[in-house]
Structure 1
Amino acid sequence: MMKWAEVIADKSLQDLPYKIELDRYGNILMSPASNRHGRLQVRIASLLERLLGGEAISECSIDTPEGVKVADVAWCSPEFLARHGYETPYSSAPEICVEIRSPSNSEEEIRFKVGLYLEQGAKEVWIVLETGSVRFFGPEGERSESSFPIDPRPELSH
């Protein structure tokens, strides 16, 4: 059973063109990411920092009961960072966790990750399609807009 520190230290895994996560048994899960996916990560992180302050982290590792999951982007308030710093993986989810849905992601897989991030303390989870459309989720379910003072849709849809 692999631990997250072992994954990070394993030089054979460092330059793979895949997002790496662990399941609850310590097995490595990999999913490919496109250049469009990477560009959306940068745009979302920049938007979050510009409009909300705090800090955005790409490829943010979060320990969950189902293993270490990696949000494509996460936004951390100064208060979150004061409590957790840059622990790896985070024991609690940052306030906003963002998943950019790739063609290889099923709706079931995405909904499962939304639930895990919310259970670990995220206030909101965004699902972004590669087209730039965004869905927002909170503990009560899907929302029509973000509960944070931000609307990423106009900037991501082009």
Structure 2
Amino acid sequence: MDWDHVWTDALLSDLPFKVELDQWGQIVMNPMKVRHVLMRNIISDQLKQVIAGYGKTLQCLPVMTPENVKMPDVVWFSPERYEQMMHSEISPIMPEVCVEVLAPGENVERLLHKKDLYLRGGAVEFWLCDDTGKLSFYDDLDVLEYSRLIPAFPHRVEPD
């Protein structure tokens, strides 16, 4: 299956799942719980505050990876990269920052695999939020003590 079929299929459009494609074109769906959505929104909102209007913060944006289409929970684009992708159905340009929130049914190894895909595809950093709200930051070489792109971003987020 390809992405055109996924996003135009009426049966898939209203599912309460994050829908992605694996390397074989098979649909991968992850159920969303309220806490996952809250954490995603909090990260997005805090990121918007910290960057103070520079670039764009988006949620669940389809991006083309070396494997297939994935949808990071939150992404941040510089204005330059945003301009290059804003008219695309699937972003051919990887955002500088890709964030994944650990969801029910997901394991850390799978998200670290996605980290590798995002970084190989051109992301500068990958952030992983665990189920307690603690964030880990990565670049293509190692685990980072903090985000080098957005150093003011907190190491923990909490739902209101």
Query: Same fold per TM (> 0.5)?
Result: yes
Distance 1:121 1:42 in 2: 24
8 A Cα contact 2:42 2:158, kept in partner: no
1:96 shift after superposition: 0.5
Cα gap change, 1:86 to 1:98, in 2 (>3 Å): farther
Partner of 2:67: 66
Rate the CA distance shift 1:88–1:150 in 2: closer, same or farther, 3 A: farther
Alpha carbons 1:44, 1:152 under 8 Å: kept? no
Which residue does 1:153 correspond to in 2? 155
The alignment partner of 2:118 has SS state of helix
Gaps of 5+ in 1: none
Instruction: Name stretches of at least 5 consecutive residues in structure 2 with no aligned partner.
Output: none
Question: Could you tell me how far 1:86 is from its partner in structure 2?
Answer: 4.2
Superposed CA offset, 1:94-133 (max 9, x none): 0110000123112220110000000111111000012110
- Hey, what's the Cα distance between the residues in 1 that align with 2:134 and 2:4? 34
Q: CA deviation at 1:82?
A: 1.7
Aligned-partner SS, 2:61: strand
1:44 equivalent in structure 2 = 43
| 2:8 alignment counterpart | 9
The aligned counterpart of 1:19 is 18
- Aligned partner of 2:151: which letter? P
* Structure-2 residue corresponding to 1:101: 102
Task: Give the match for residue 80 of structure 1.
Answer: 81
Shift of 1:157: 3.6
Residue 112 of structure 2 corresponds to: 111
- In the alignment, the residues of structure 2 paired with residue 19 and residue 61 of structure 1 have an alpha-carbon distance, to the nearest angstrom, of 10
Q: Give the conservation status (yes or no) of the 8 Å contact 2:136–2:155.
A: no
Identity of paired residues, percent? 34
Report SS of the residue matched to 1:90: coil
In structure 2, distance between residues paired with 1:55 and 1:47: 12
In structure 2, distance between residues paired with 1:41 and 1:88: 22
Deviates more, 1:39-48 or 1:118-127: 39-48
Distance 1:123 1:86 in 2: 22
SS in 1 for 2:71: strand
Indicate the structure with greater strand content: 1
By how many angstroms is 1:151 displaced? 2.1
Distance 1:107 1:41 in 2: 17
Structure-1 residue corresponding to 2:129:
128
Q: In 1, Cα distance between the equivalents of 2:152 and 2:59?
A: 18
